[in-house]
């Protein structure tokens, strides 16, 4: 990365290729002002007195949006990859046995530990090209359930961690009231519980009123098993009044669906629709175990699905029926959830690959329209282009939208596309990285979506400010050192 000094406040970022209008174009600069907002995309020959930053051998793309994260769970990576002795004779390990290990970690983390674990998760996100995250946060109290003097202390520690790393963050504050329908209280969930909606909304409002740069707040009822219906009604109605985003775990496990039917006589999706909870502001996380009859409910209401394929395969949750959602024009965004791996492009490609394994066929998520036309670029003069391998490009475009624009809509983040008026949130990839070397502009997106190595991400910029340069974050060493110390304390 080289720059040409110029006193002007505007900066022109000049890569070899820039992704706009769902295709790569050369000889184009992204120009942003001193506030970090994109002013225009300009042909290099039309630049005047902007400060120029040359990005040689780079392709520049909009920053990715991670719509679902539990940052503290980064401490679990590699710690649950074995069969528990007690369960070996009882039918195998599952999400539910993994959850016990997660609870063990959750009950042992101090506020500073949560800060250090969150920084590690956010560091990996930044290094992989993620510029904004939706944090589904449910650790509220001390380990024994005693509230802190500031009921949002732990949420603020996570926000502080994101700010340290330079990421935008939607703090999706979780409501959690019980262990489940007709289920005894679980002492390991004591950190999560706010038993009534009044307490939850009081603490939510305190968080909303706490100023934080590049951070905002959303509502997150954990699930139908953890939040009873009256509680749900009150907090979702409140979210509608304030036009807040609502995220909720939905139909992640068959047992959750069965318990919902037992309690309410309806599946989770049917319950959410008939109660009027689904809307354009609602994101259903996972939404795996749904019937074909239920899927149009998302389309009718504008609700979004957040798939987390890496976590879902790690936990044995099941496969998101992405083809059925797309058939009904239901948008899908992506999350890294438990952080078994942090690579949103891996999640994107798994959305397609998991279906290939089920269907025993390729190109499942292709648009069945035989003529595939790419989107218009702001640089076009009325023309569109059809790529030689349009069907494959259509899959890659659709999956990249899941990792960018759809995620931005889900969590209410700016960005997701490189357009005037949007923030200069972007990442670059090294065109000479072995994972994509030899790709032409026409097949580069497919190469990136289906094959890019995380090591190929070289620069990451948020609001016009670099946070990753030449593949390294500014505070990378400190974050890793503190996390190493945390893991030794936690697991030794």
Q: Where are the alpha helices (DSSP H) in 223-334?
A: 229-242, 254-264, 268-274, 295-301, 309-314, 322-327
273 three-state secondary structure: helix
Q: pLDDT by residue (tens digit) across 433-478?
A: 999 999 999 999 999 999 999 999 999 999 999 999 999 999 999 9
pLDDT at 392: 46
* Global confidence as pTM: 0.93
Question: Catalytic residue positions?
Answer: 286, 337
Cβ atoms of 283 and 311 closer than 8 Å: no
pLDDT at 488: 97
Pair of tokens at residue 413: 């983040």
Spatial separation of the C-alpha atoms in residues 427 and 461, rounded to whole Å: 6
Cβ atoms of 332 and 406 closer than 8 Å: yes
The pLDDT of 348-369, averaged and rounded, is 91
Q: pLDDT by residue (tens digit) across 210-260?
A: 877 899 999 999 999 999 999 999 999 999 999 999 999 999 999 999 999
Pair of tokens at residue 380: 């076009």
Spatial separation of the C-alpha atoms in residues 372 and 374, rounded to whole Å: 7
Q: pLDDT by residue (tens digit) across 121-171?
A: 999 999 999 999 999 999 999 999 999 999 999 999 999 999 999 999 999
Spatial separation of the C-alpha atoms in residues 322 and 331, rounded to whole Å: 9
- Enumerate the domain spans of the chain: 68-359
pLDDT at 382 over 90: no
Spatial separation of the C-alpha atoms in residues 248 and 492, rounded to whole Å: 34
Confidence of residue 373 (pLDDT cuts 50, 70, 90): very low
Confidence of residue 3 (pLDDT cuts 50, 70, 90): very low
Domain 68-359 in this protein, CATH class: alpha beta
CA distances from 91 to 84, 86, 94, 183 (A): 11, 10, 9, 22
The pLDDT of 45-69, averaged and rounded, is 97
């Amino acid at each position: 990365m080289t720059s040409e000094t110029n006193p002007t406040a505007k900066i022109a970022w000049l890569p070899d290729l820039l992704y706009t209008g769902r295709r790569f174009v050369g000889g184009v600069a992204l120009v942003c002002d001193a506030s970090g907002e994109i002013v225009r995309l300009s042909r290099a020959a039309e630049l005047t007195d902007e400060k120029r930053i040359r990005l040689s051998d780079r392709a520049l793309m909009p920053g990715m949006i991670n719509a679902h994260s539990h940052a503290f769970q980064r401490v679990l990576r590699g710690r649950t990859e074995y069969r528990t002795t007690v369960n070996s004779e009882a039918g195998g390990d599952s999400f539910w046995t993994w959850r016990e290990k997660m609870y063990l970690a959750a009950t042992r983390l101090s506020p500073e530990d949560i800060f250090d674990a969150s920084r590690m998760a956010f560091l990996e996100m930044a290094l992989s090209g993620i510029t904004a995250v939706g944090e589904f946060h449910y650790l509220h109290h001390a380990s024994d359930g005693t509230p802190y003097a500031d009921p949002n202390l732990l949420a603020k520690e996570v926000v502080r961690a994101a700010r340290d790393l330079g990421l935008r963050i939607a703090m999706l504050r979780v409501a959690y009231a019980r262990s489940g329908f007709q289920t005894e209280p679980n002492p390991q969930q004591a950190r999560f519980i706010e038993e009534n909606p009044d307490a939850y909304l009081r603490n939510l409002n305190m968080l909303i009123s706490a100023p934080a740069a590049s951070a905002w707040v959303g509502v997150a009822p954990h699930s139908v098993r953890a939040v009873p219906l009256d509680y749900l009604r009150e907090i979702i109605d409140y979210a509608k009044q304030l036009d807040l985003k609502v995220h909720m775990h939905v139909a992640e496990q068959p047992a959750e669906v069965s318990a919902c039917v037992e309690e309410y006589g309806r599946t989770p999706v049917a319950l959410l629709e008939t109660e009027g909870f689904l809307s354009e502001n609602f994101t259903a996380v996972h939404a795996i175990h749904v019937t074909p009859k239920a899927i149009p409910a998302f389309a009718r209401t504008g609700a979004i699905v957040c798939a987390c394929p890496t976590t879902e395969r790690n936990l044995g949750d099941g496969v998101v029926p992405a083809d059925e959602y797309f058939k009904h024009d239901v948008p899908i965004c992506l999350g890294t959830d438990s952080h078994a791996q942090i690579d949103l492009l891996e999640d994107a490609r798994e959305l397609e690959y998991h279906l290939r394994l089920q269907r025993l066929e390729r190109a499942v998520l292709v648009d069945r329209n035989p003529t595939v036309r790419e989107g218009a670029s702001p640089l076009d003069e009325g023309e569109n282009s059809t790529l030689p391998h349009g069907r494959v490009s259509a899959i890659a475009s659709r999956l990249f939208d899941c990792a960018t624009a759809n995620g931005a809509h889900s969590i209410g983040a700016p960005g997701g596309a490189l357009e005037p008026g949007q923030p200069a949130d972007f990442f670059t990839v090294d065109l000479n990285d072995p994972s994509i070397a030899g790709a032409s502009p026409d097949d580069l997106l497919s190469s990136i979506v289906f094959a890019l190595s995380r090591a190929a991400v070289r620069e990451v910029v948020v609001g016009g400010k670099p946070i990753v340069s030449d593949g390294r974050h500014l505070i990378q060493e400190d974050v890793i050192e503190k996390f190493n110390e945390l893991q030794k304390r936690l697991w030794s």
